[in-house]
Amino acid sequence: MKAKLTYTGIRVTNLDRSITFYTQVLGMTLTGRNKIPDTGGEAASLVSVDGGPTLELNYYAKGSRFSTKYFVGDGLDHIAFQVEDLEKFLAEAKKSGIPVPFEVKTGSSHWAYVEDPDGIWIEVFA
């Protein structure tokens, strides 16, 4: 059986703060935001390019059976984004106080990780 990956959902602890990070820092576009009464939660959908995969941010309010203790990543290793100019991106991230916990330069390869507001590692490369 063959399947097509259409979106990735991650859990966040503050939906507005995460939307701000993904739209302002990574340049994504918010395409929708909906409350989900059956889960006691709210979801926001973002894309980086038209027709590209969606990143779904999921928030669960206190009292929801899905609002459990938050563990950074909780099985998610990282999400990767390609940027036009890695050096410029990292300089702007550091200037804005965004954590850059790990940077790799090996031969012709260079990539780094920044942290989203919940501590999820975001790989960035050019």
Active site residues: 123
Extract long-range pairs of 113-117: CB within 8 Å, 24+ residues apart.
Answer: 113/78, 114/25, 114/90, 116/12, 116/18, 116/21, 116/22, 117/12, 117/13, 117/14, 117/17, 117/18, 117/21
Q: Which two tokens stand for residue 19?
A: 């939307």
From the centroid of its chain, how far is CA 87? Answer: 20
